[in-house]
Structure 1
Amino acid sequence: MYLSLNYILAAIKKLNNVHPFIGITFLSCKRNHLPVGKTMEYPMDQKNKEFMDEVQKIIPNSAWYYQPYKSNAFVKKWVKEDYASSGLQSINTRSFQRCFIHESNSKIWGWDKNYISEISKKVIKGNKKIPLIDLAIWCFKFEEWDHAITLEEIVQQFISMYQITKQEIEILFTTTISGYPNCLAFQEEVVKAALLANNLEEPPDAKPDEEGTLSFLALDNVGPSDHMEMNLASRLNIITGDNGLGKTFLMDCSWWALTGTWTSNEARPKYNGKKSNIRFSIAGKMQHTKEVSISYDIQNLTWKRNGRQPTIPGLIVYACVDGSYAVWDPSKHYGVNKNRPSVFSGSQVWNGLDGSIEGLIRDWVKWQSSPTKYPFDIFTNVLSVLSPPDIGTLTSGDPIRIPEDTREIPTIVHPYGIVPITNTSAGIRRIVTLAYLIVWAWHEHKISSQFRNVKPDSRIVIMIDEIEAHLHPKWQRTILPALMEVQKVLSEELEIQFILSTHSPLVLASAESAFRQEIDKLFHMKLSLPNQDAILEEVDFIKYGQINAWLTSPIFNLRQARSQEAEVAIEEAKILQMTDNPDYEAVFHTHEKLLNCLAENDIFWPRWIYFAEQHGVEI
């Protein structure tokens, strides 16, 4: 067990009333057995620095130490790495000099016999003693404990480790535990340093976290909804809902939250006089998740973002529903290249855009003819993974020339022959384009990272609006699991966050074998009847099994997995069956409707035929 985040934060807040001498020098000297009434060679500054390294260095990549203790109004909560030999040294040798036996400018130190009373004069106001539990929680914030541990036992452990005497407790401290929130004091996992730091103000040398994925998005008075929010999963996020409720809108807002750019028209407020906000959090590799809130500037008709954000997103690929594609590479969108294009039309992805992308046709041929076969091998492997189940693996053939085109055109080998990529079906074109863009973006990112002498990202985001578009039902049933296998093809160490929208029960059924509640989430958009407002809900992922069961689930909300006419006829028939003494004419006309709508082997017939015959209808 570990101390909970809420208790650690409460202790930090309470330590704001404790003098830093107690929290650093006193505890360091006590733990290192500084003698009383006599001296020893004791490197005070070094020992205090070692203590601060252990207890107050909570952000590994920062040179600053968090200082939870009392300070004057002009000193912030972060102190420099020389604090032990500068500010704290001054406190030790001036403000608390009567507490020590010390030869000036030497390493000879010891406690004065009256050190307790001298400390009391400086740090105790009235009868308000220092709670040992506050110091204990702060010092033991990352320690592991037995499941049966209590706060009282932690206080006793602290007293033992720091050799707090009965006289010190009597005059300086209290063992009383109070002022903590009404919640669990312990949790199963250790509080991550990054999570703790996320709840505190940033150190002066804080750098943006990197390789960010979207962890939270909220829209207030924006687009089709008064309020909409989602806490995203780290791996798979599926968004469902009827047409016109805002799935694409939500996808575009997710892209904007990550990148600060729009793929087309930017989101607009509802113009009802209320304030409009977009709030979001991006989780980097250090798991910093500070929430950012951006308000709509009604005067300038835009969303104003400042230049700095706490987390820089990683590589992002977005397949838009209109056939365009967007790519965001942090190595290319910061500094001098921050305004370079990131959204490409379908034609530009295939034929190229000068200075930005060579295009699928040229890159495919170039990769295929490269002696190293990289990234062509990666591309063909991704194609293989994403291939449709009915016509087999999408295999690359030799490039060919076609009339009225000076380029060599890539080909696909089908069972019935070799087909130029330009002549393939819409479904194959979409999947080939997606495969190319993922591989191209990853390849370009690796090259750019090499130029900058940094490691490529290990976390990326892939967004696809209407993943089932142009795909045969057989392909819809396999595309999602196949897409999730792509990360293994690109790199074994790669983590991909997927944000997908779909209308297809086949896609959801295909997720049943891969969906994991701890890292995946399902969201559903629907119309709220009281105020006709679009709302977004996180729903439990239930394995319905058959496609018919998905169609009649709350996600698609069909009463019958049949035609609309058949659904109406069956509902009429059910009402008649529950009616006392139904009219012959009504039964006859309903029977005619059923004959017109239902197949001969429909499972509803046995239930209906007996009823109809009982009421005079000849079958």
Structure 2
Amino acid sequence: MIRELHLKRVGPAPEFNVEFADRLNLFTGDNGLGKTFLLDIAWWALTNTWAGDPAWPQRGNGVPSEISYHLEGKTGLTKEPTISRFDFAHQVWPRSKARPVMPGLVIYVRVDGSFSVWDPARNYWKAMQVKGVDQPDRPSAYHFKPENIWNGLEEERKVLCNGLIRDWVSWQNQPEQDDSSPFNLLSKVIEKLSPHPSEWMRPGKPTRVSIEDVRDIPTVELPYGSIPVTQASAGMKRILGLAYLLVWTWYEHSQASILLNQPPTDTIILLMDEVESHLHPQWQRTILPAMLNVATGLNEKIKTQVIASTHSPLALASIEPFFDENKDKLFLFTLDGTSVKLDEILWAKQGDVVGWLTSEVFELKQARSKEAEIAIEAAEAFMRFDTQNLPGNLKTKDQIHHELLRLLAGHDPFWPRWIVEGMEETK
């Protein structure tokens, strides 16, 4: 797991300091303030690789750009932070030459539909020679574009992953199925990620979908019928891709651990950028709670650390019954003048989506359209006889009332407060 991350002159702020919680770490804030950037840095700290472009350092003043972090692995928490200072001469962030900490399996779910996986059994770098036997480097990590999830991943003529379509059907056709078989694990994970008991998903029978494609295509059974996974919606594909990657990562890690004669890891770190991406509100309301326990479907003893970004007030509301201040944290990016700040904020239940929208996290005055917000603020000012700064088109009672009729529903809770009969328009 990752415990601490400290940045100096890297990214949008002079300095970022984060102490991560054991289980759930939620990052929110406006666009462009650094949420994805922080996830990229966390991935690099955990894996010593970049999932995309390296973080770019700030320049000038002769002050070094620095990334330092604390990891916890099988041997416990590192005594000293690992520090990397950007090497401008070689344009790289130097990696530590010491034996790296094994933080666990790391899965990065990116907003564009791509995934990255780092496995301590398959991606851990080794010396080129072990006890006199030449041993080639292993892949630094597995990076999946959306098409690789479905059709497989190859590198230098080596098949690194068969892809969802082939693996799903292959797992389903295995003659012996027990609780630890990959197909049963996949079924469990898909069930946990389903949005609601009445909107369940489960694997169906493979089918052919085209005379030009000889593959059998997996299907999912839904309350209204069965569909090939290739015909699923964008949101459903994101969920199915996540379910597959979780199972594939754990299954292949378990197989590699057997070959290496070592026990599998007991930790999974999930990095998720914009957890609500492509998801209907039903799924936005279940995705974070599911992420907290989905790994237990793979192994009951496994520990999960989730580091996620979100813009969704519904996702935040969904976590209220499960948030534990001893194991979870909420962080907020804000723009203070011309400076970006990242702060841990005290957890407070807001009750519903409206509460979250009008909280310090989103800072909306009204959980409405901007036009309705302006009209209600004008109405409230009018009722206070504060008419000096009313908008030009909302100067009179009739103008305000007409605008409220245009914008508000008949059952809107503001109507009982709009009491102006007998009031003077000026005082």
Determine whether 1:265 maps to 2:72: no
Amino acid at match of 2:272: I
Determine whether 1:302 maps to 2:92: yes
Amino acid at match of 2:309: S
Residue 562 of structure 1, CA deviation? 0.9
1:521 to 329, 346, 349: 329
Q: 1:195-206, aligned counterparts within 5 Å?
A: none
Amino acid at match of 1:345: K
Determine whether 1:558 maps to 2:347: no
Amino acid at match of 2:143: V
Residues 591, 612 of structure 1: 8 Å contact kept: no
**Percent identical residues:** 43
User: Hey, what does 2:373 align to over in structure 1?
Assistant: 567
Determine whether 1:364 maps to 2:153: no
Unaligned runs of 5+ in 2: 127-135
Residue 580 of structure 1, CA deviation? 5.5
CA distance in 1, matches of 2:387, 2:190: 63
Amino acid at match of 1:319: V
Amino acid at match of 1:266: P
- Equivalent residue of 1:593, what SS? helix
1:615 to 419, 424, 427: 424
CA distance in 2, matches of 1:326, 1:581: 57
Residue 390 of structure 1, CA deviation? 7.4
Residue 454 of structure 1, CA deviation? 0.6
User: Hey, what does 2:308 align to over in structure 1?
Assistant: 500
For CA contacts below 8 A with separation 6 or more, give which structure has more relative contact order. Answer: 2
Unaligned runs of 5+ in 1: 1-212
Residues 587, 612 of structure 1: 8 Å contact kept: no
User: Hey, what does 1:313 align to over in structure 2?
Assistant: 103
Residue 616 of structure 1, CA deviation? 6.3
User: Hey, what does 1:388 align to over in structure 2?
Assistant: 195
Residue 287 of structure 1, CA deviation? 2.6
Determine whether 1:231 maps to 2:19: yes
CA distance in 1, matches of 2:197, 2:266: 34
CA distance in 2, matches of 1:613, 1:294: 71
Determine whether 1:323 maps to 2:127: no
Q: Pick closer, same or farther for the CA change 1:298–1:586 going to 2, 3 Å.
A: farther
CA distance in 2, matches of 1:458, 1:394: 28
Residue 607 of structure 1, CA deviation? 1.6
Q: 1:261-300, aligned counterparts within 5 Å?
A: 261-273=49-61, 274-289=63-78, 290-300=80-90
- Equivalent residue of 2:252, what SS? helix
CA distance in 2, matches of 1:449, 1:585: 73
Residue 360 of structure 1, CA deviation? 0.3
Residue 339 of structure 1, CA deviation? 3.4
Q: Pick closer, same or farther for the CA change 1:390–1:548 going to 2, 3 Å.
A: farther
Residue 601 of structure 1, CA deviation? 1.6
CA distance in 2, matches of 1:231, 1:302: 25
Residue 310 of structure 1, CA deviation? 5.1
Residues 329, 445 of structure 1: 8 Å contact kept: yes
Q: 1:67-86, aligned counterparts within 5 Å?
A: none
Amino acid at match of 1:601: H
Amino acid at match of 2:112: D
User: Hey, what does 2:130 align to over in structure 1?
Assistant: none
Q: What count of residue pairs does the alignment treat as equivalent?
A: 402
Q: Pick closer, same or farther for the CA change 1:262–1:581 going to 2, 3 Å.
A: closer
2:208 to 391, 401, 417: 401
Residues 317, 356 of structure 2: 8 Å contact kept: yes
2:147 to 333, 347, 350: 347
2:221 to 393, 413, 424: 413
Question: Which moves more between the two structures, 294-303 or 247-256?
Answer: 294-303
Residue 271 of structure 1, CA deviation? 2.2
User: Hey, what does 2:243 align to over in structure 1?
Assistant: 435
Amino acid at match of 1:590: I
- Equivalent residue of 2:74, what SS? coil
- Equivalent residue of 1:409, what SS? coil
Residue 611 of structure 1, CA deviation? 2.3
Residue 219 of structure 1, CA deviation? 1.4
Amino acid at match of 2:286: T
Q: Pick closer, same or farther for the CA change 1:580–1:217 going to 2, 3 Å.
A: closer
Residue 581 of structure 1, CA deviation? 7.2
User: Hey, what does 1:465 align to over in structure 2?
Assistant: 273
CA distance in 2, matches of 1:341, 1:386: 25
Amino acid at match of 1:353: L
Determine whether 1:592 maps to 2:402: yes
CA distance in 2, matches of 1:595, 1:275: 59
TM-score if structure 1 supplies the norm length?
0.63
Determine whether 1:601 maps to 2:411: yes
User: Hey, what does 2:133 align to over in structure 1?
Assistant: none
Amino acid at match of 1:296: F
Amino acid at match of 1:598: L
- Equivalent residue of 1:265, what SS? coil
- Equivalent residue of 1:311, what SS? coil
Residues 201, 220 of structure 2: 8 Å contact kept: yes
- Equivalent residue of 2:50, what SS? coil
CA distance in 1, matches of 2:143, 2:55: 17
Residues 382, 425 of structure 2: 8 Å contact kept: no
Which one has the bigger helix percentage? 1
Q: Deviations over 1:557-597 (max 9, x none)?
A: 11111111111221222223333577994333333322222
User: Hey, what does 1:242 align to over in structure 2?
Assistant: 30
CA distance in 2, matches of 1:284, 1:260: 14
Determine whether 1:537 maps to 2:343: yes
Determine whether 1:509 maps to 2:317: yes
Q: Pick closer, same or farther for the CA change 1:361–1:589 going to 2, 3 Å.
A: same
Question: Which moves more between the two structures, 540-549 or 390-399?
Answer: 390-399
- Equivalent residue of 1:537, what SS? strand
CA distance in 2, matches of 1:341, 1:443: 16
Residues 288, 315 of structure 2: 8 Å contact kept: yes
The CA RMSD over aligned residues, in Å, is 1.9
Q: Pick closer, same or farther for the CA change 1:606–1:367 going to 2, 3 Å.
A: same
CA distance in 2, matches of 1:463, 1:258: 11
Residues 390, 474 of structure 1: 8 Å contact kept: no
Residue 499 of structure 1, CA deviation? 0.7
Determine whether 1:578 maps to 2:384: yes
Q: 1:54-69, aligned counterparts within 5 Å?
A: none
